[in-house]
Amino acid sequence: MDDGVRLHRLVLVLTALVVDDEPEARRRVAGLLRLGGWHVLEANGAASALRQARLASPDLVVTDVSMPGSDGLSMLRRLRQEGSRARFLVVTADPTDDVRAAAAAAGAIACLRKPIDARLLLDFLRSRTTGPAAQDQPTDIRDADDLHEEDLDAELMDRLQEMYVDALPGRLSAIADGARAGDTTAVVAAAHTLAGTSGQLGHPEVASVCRAIAADARRGVMAHARVVHLQALALAGA
Mean pLDDT rounded to a whole number for the chain:
78
Alpha carbon distance 64, 23 (integer Å):
12
- Here the contacts of 216-222 (C-beta below 8 Å, separation 24 or greater) are 217/178, 217/179, 217/184, 217/187, 217/188, 217/191, 218/184, 218/188, 220/184, 222/179, 222/182, 222/184, 222/187
Is the CB of residue 193 less than 8 Å from the CB of residue 33? no
CA torsion sign for 164, 170, 174, 180 is positive
Which residue would you say has higher pLDDT here, 100 or 136? Answer: 100
Q: Are residues 138 and 231 in the same domain?
A: no
Alpha carbon distance 194, 211 (integer Å):
9
Q: Are residues 131 and 163 in the same domain?
A: no
Q: Are residues 17 and 109 in the same domain?
A: yes
Which residue would you say has higher pLDDT here, 83 or 144? Answer: 83
Q: Are residues 44 and 100 in the same domain?
A: yes
Please give the average per-residue pLDDT across 221-226, as a whole number: 90
Q: Are residues 10 and 59 in the same domain?
A: yes
Q: Are residues 115 and 175 in the same domain?
A: no
pLDDT surpasses 60 at 6: no
Q: How much is the pTM?
A: 0.59
Alpha carbon distance 88, 117 (integer Å):
17
Q: Exposed (0-12), middle (13-18) or buried (19+): which is 90, by Cβ within 10 Å?
A: buried
Residues 6+ apart with CB under 8 A from 133: none
Find the distance separating the first CA and the last CA of the chain, reported in whole Å: 32
- In whole angstroms, what separates CA 175 from the centre of its chain? 19
Is the CB of residue 66 less than 8 Å from the CB of residue 45? no
Give tens-digit pLDDT for 13-58: 578 999 999 888 888 888 888 777 778 899 999 999 999 999 888 8
Count of the separate structural domains present in the chain: 2
Last residue of a domain, one of 100, 123, 152: 152
The one-letter code for the residue type at 23 is: P
Last residue of a domain, one of 121, 152, 183: 152
Q: Are residues 28 and 146 in the same domain?
A: yes
The one-letter code for the residue type at 11 is: V
Phi first, then psi, for residue 70 (nearest 5°) are: -135, 140
Q: Are residues 103 and 215 in the same domain?
A: no
Domain, as residue range, for 170: 155-237
pLDDT surpasses 50 at 206: yes
pLDDT for the residue numbered 155: 61
Q: Are residues 171 and 98 in the same domain?
A: no
Q: Are residues 141 and 196 in the same domain?
A: no
Give tens-digit pLDDT for 134-189: 333 333 444 434 434 444 456 656 777 777 888 888 889 989 999 999 999 999 88
pLDDT for the residue numbered 228: 93
Q: Are residues 74 and 146 in the same domain?
A: yes
Last residue of a domain, one of 128, 152, 176: 152
The one-letter code for the residue type at 98 is: D
CATH number of the domain within which 26 lies: 3.40.50.2300
Alpha carbon distance 124, 62 (integer Å):
11
Give tens-digit pLDDT for 110-127: 888 888 777 667 666 665
Alpha carbon distance 67, 75 (integer Å):
11
Q: Are residues 42 and 96 in the same domain?
A: yes
